[in-house]
């Protein structure tokens, strides 16, 4: 019952404002967010590369309200791509279409996305569209397919908790698209999404097997040891080399498992978010895994204890 509460809290703009000025929460966010500036994020990318891992960099933000904000977000991503090249680090980028103006219209988001993907192509880099909640899936995929006709340096995310995802994965495989598979981090009704973890996990395995068998360098994004073992076992049984896919994990979560996979010879990419709009992201991380919440609460409690 805790997960729905935390996800709803992530959507509260008043709490977002309060959180941004709370020094304890800002400190806690640093476990999962690589600072508020691009300079701080590039430092994290460089350190992550030194651990033999690649990165996807995300400038946090979503649901902008004006065309000017959407254009500014696109410009930020163009600047990020230029800085990735200048710094000589190994990273692509991930973004949300509502950050590029999807709520203002599909054409607004499409044009801003095209600008970012064009800049990425100049340096042979790659852009991934993060998937948002279910009301955006059709529009997100439509924009993806529209741009993918001319720009192959573009990928998308599919969520295993949605009933529709098997059909979406089949179509994306047919198109030759690069897919990141996740479980899903939004609160969805039973009309569109599995409600039990066992069902979400079962569908994750189905989609993972489809992507490994026939997909174009899929990204299997999970911290769940059972899902990782299922992926490794299926790949071994089918003779699928580790170079044909990658695992993706979030910055600040299961660093031990990240290192273990690299040592075992697997490609690992870390999703590294940064920026001032960290509150919704932080709350979704709390909702996904109780251990994350316990970590935060424990640190808050320590902050509150009088010094001796």
Catalytic residue set: 130, 180
Q: Under a CB-based contact definition with an 8 Å cutoff, are residues 270 and 219 in contact? A: no
Angle between helices 225-238 and 197-214 (to 10 degrees): 30
Q: Which residues contact 193 (CB under 8 A, 6 or more apart)?
A: 134, 161, 162, 163, 184
Question: Which is nearest to 159 in space by CA: 29, 74, 284?
Answer: 284
Which tokens in the block code for residue 156? Answer: 């998308």
* H/E stretch holding 173: helix 165-175
Which tokens in the block code for residue 208? Answer: 């993972």
CA angle 193, 14, 36 (to 5 degrees): 85
According to DSSP H, which parts of 51-131 are helical? 67-87, 106-122
Residue 173: C-alpha distances to residues 6, 22, 226, 243 (Å): 34, 45, 24, 18
> SS3 for 181?
strand
How far apart are the C-alpha atoms of 61 and 97, rounded to whole Å?
10
Q: Under a CB-based contact definition with an 8 Å cutoff, are residues 53 and 258 in contact? A: yes
Q: Note the Cα 87 to chain centre separation in Å.
A: 22
Read off the DSSP letter of residue 177. -
Question: Which is nearest to 303 in space by CA: 20, 27, 31?
Answer: 27
Q: Under a CB-based contact definition with an 8 Å cutoff, are residues 231 and 250 in contact? A: no
């Amino acid at each position: 019952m805790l997960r729905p509460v935390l996800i709803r809290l992530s959507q509260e703009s008043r709490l977002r404002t309060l959180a941004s000025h709370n020094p304890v929460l800002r400190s806690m966010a640093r476990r999962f967010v690589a600072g508020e500036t691009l300079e701080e994020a590039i430092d994290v990318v460089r350190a992550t590369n030194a651990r033999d891992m690649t990165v996807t960099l995300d400038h946090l933000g979503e649901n902008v309200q004006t065309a000017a904000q959407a254009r500014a977000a696109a410009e930020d991503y163009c600047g990020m791509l230029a800085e990735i090249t200048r710094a000589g680090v190994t990273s692509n980028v991930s973004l949300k279409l509502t950050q590029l103006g999807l709520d203002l219209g599909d054409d607004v988001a499409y044009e801003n996305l095209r600008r970012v993907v064009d800049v990425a192509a100049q340096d042979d880099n790659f852009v991934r569209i993060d998937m948002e909640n279910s009301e955006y899936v059709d529009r997100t995929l439509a924009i993806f397919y529209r741009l993918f006709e001319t720009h192959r340096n573009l990928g998308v995310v599919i969520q295993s908790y949605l009933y529709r995802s098997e059909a979406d994965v089949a179509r994306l495989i047919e198109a030759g698209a690069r897919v990141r598979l996740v479980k899903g981090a939004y609160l969805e009704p039973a009309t569109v999404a599995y409600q039990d973890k066992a069902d979400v996990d079962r569908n994750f395995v189905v989609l993972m097997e489809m992507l490994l068998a026939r997909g174009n360098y899929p990204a299997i994004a999970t911290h769940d040891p059972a899902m990782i073992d299922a992926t490794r076992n299926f790949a071994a049984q089918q003779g699928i080399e580790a170079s044909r896919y990658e695992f993706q994990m979030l910055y600040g979560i299961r660093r031990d498992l990240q290192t273990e996979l690299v040592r075992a010879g697997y490609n690992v990419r870390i999703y590294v978010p940064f920026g001032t709009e960290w509150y919704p992201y932080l709350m979704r991380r709390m909702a996904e895994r109780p251990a994350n919440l316990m970590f935060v609460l424990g640190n808050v409690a320590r902050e509150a204890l009088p010094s001796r």
